[in-house]
Amino acid sequence: MKNKSRIYLFLLIFTLFLTGCKGNDDKTSSNFKPSTLIEKDANGTVEGDLNKYKIDIKIDEKEKSFTGKQKTLFKNNTGVALGEIYFRLYPNAFKRFEDSPILFSQSPYTKKTFKEGFIEMKKLSLKGEDLKYTIEGEDKTLLKIKLERPLMEGQQIEIDMEYFVKLPTSQDRFGYGKNTMNFGNWYPVLSVYDEDGWSKDPYYSVGDPFYTDASNYDVNITVDKDIIVASSGNILEEKIIGKEKIYKIEGRFIRDFAFAASSDFKIREEMVDDTLVKLYYLDNNKTMIEESLKYSVDSIKAFNKSFGKYPYGVYSVVLTEFPSGMEYPSIVFINERYFTKDAKTILEQTIVHETAHQWWYGLVGNDQVKEAWLDEGLTSYSEVIYMDKIYGEKEGDLYFENGFEMNYDIIEEYLRGEDTQVNKSIEEFEDWDDYGILVYTKAAVFLRDIEDRYGKDTLLKILSTYFKEYKYKNATTEGFLEICEKVTKESFKGLEEEWLK
């Protein structure tokens, strides 16, 4: 996600130096049917081992709520017998205004006007038998299901759920504004079981506190017939029945599923390297439509060449009521207020940043709570790689110098005597300011140091090797540094101490 403090500082500097960097307004009608996956290399991941979600929801647009029925197929690949299974219930983080993880505290609402969001579990069962469960955690976002008998390694179970969800008055990842509804982190999603056991972190108000495994999704969304849905995955069918519209959507090898909905969306489309780029926008601004599509298409081109092929047949860029930019697999939310000529620079930067997240977070996952730098640092430096590929090396260098290096010089003075460790858990950061300074800017300068020491081609080889090794999997800092050492044939202990610790 694009960080607030970096945006403000960046705008002051970047606009001064870089402003010289070099359809149809309605929904595109086309008989073209994109593929869900266009690149078949599963990187050793066996599809039968993936978690599988089958979700049917019906949205009440007037009440800003929905009901859901969900089947989750979980296969135990942990290596140990499991007596319990954990899901995350992220909507419960919005139960109270005071505790809601509203990004950057920019909500137009107050305690009096805020309407809460939550999820109520109506039924949990296994083969028709009710399951015992508790809702835990300081923010009640942890669902613990107790199994009658241990689930052994290699065994699988299918858990049935029914639930009711209320959206909060929050123009955020999850919530609604005047024209749009955002559905990020909206359904019960399996926690990750790793070497530390089940992930149980709360929904922190700083950073992107999410950690998930690649999974398969089949989702049906029922809305009023005039509502347009933009989603993760591939929309296979839109069927109108009476006053309702049903979207049939599939996602394969994606680690999360998000969507946005609005009766005001317009759509433009363009193909790039076998991927259909879909731009959902609210304003009838023809100039910015072409600009936004260009940034999206150029990003896919640049990162396909630099890191490895984008494997999904659809990529959706959604201009919605969101304070900055937010990444989800094959879909990103972009602040619709950037959709103007005056904000052209920040529009490009945000689209590029969130598109880079399709590689660093979406395809190569990591624990964004414990090691946030790993996706944000690589994503931030990917902006420089984009500038280099699209506008040339001089513009790439200028972008880095004014957008990162100059900021880092200021940061070093600002943080003198403070904790400057980059690789640490979200809970150890004070606020968005030091989080952004370290996780985005200092981490990006670390990538530049690698490039300066070993060359541009070597850095790109590190990133492409890292992508190839961890695509559809969860990586760690240790794994990234091992790739660095493998490619350069040198120890990275010194660089790790200098930049990450």
What are the tokens at 281? Answer: 């926008």
- The CA angle 143-145-146, to the nearest 5 degrees, is 145
353 labelled ligand-binding: yes
Say how far apart CA 244 and CA 281 lie, in whole Å. Answer: 22
Phi-psi region of 274 (alpha: psi -120 to 50; beta: other; left: phi over 0): left
Question: Catalytic: 383?
Answer: no
Say how far apart CA 471 and CA 389 lie, in whole Å. Answer: 23
What are the tokens at 1? Answer: 């996600």
What are the tokens at 111? Answer: 């305690």
Tally the C-alpha atoms within 13 A of residue 443's C-alpha that lie toward its C-beta.
26
Question: Catalytic: 440?
Answer: yes
395 labelled ligand-binding: no
What are the tokens at 274? Answer: 């076998």
Closest CA to 67 of 231, 241, 173, 187: 187
469 labelled ligand-binding: no
| Active-site position among 204, 381, 386, 440 | 440
What strands, in cross-sheet order, belong to the sheet with 129-130?
129-130, 118-126, 156-166, 65-75, 51-60, 215-224, 244-254, 234-241
Buried residues in 58-91 as b, exposed as e (16+ CB within 10 A): ebebeebebbbbbebbbbbeeeeebeebbbbbbb
What are the tokens at 352? Answer: 């590029």
How, if at all, do strands 474-475 and 365-366 pair? Answer: parallel
| Active-site position among 39, 269, 354, 496 | 354
H helices of 307-392, in order, are 344-356, 373-391
Say how far apart CA 120 and CA 95 lie, in whole Å. Answer: 11
Say how far apart CA 487 and CA 481 lie, in whole Å. Answer: 10
What are the φ and ψ backbone dihedral angles of 65, each rounded to 5 degrees?
Answer: -150, 170
Q: Detail the residues annotated as belonging to a binding site for Zn(2+).
A: 353, 357, 376
Q: Detail the residues annotated as belonging to a binding site.
A: 353, 357, 376
Q: Which residues are catalytic?
A: 354, 440
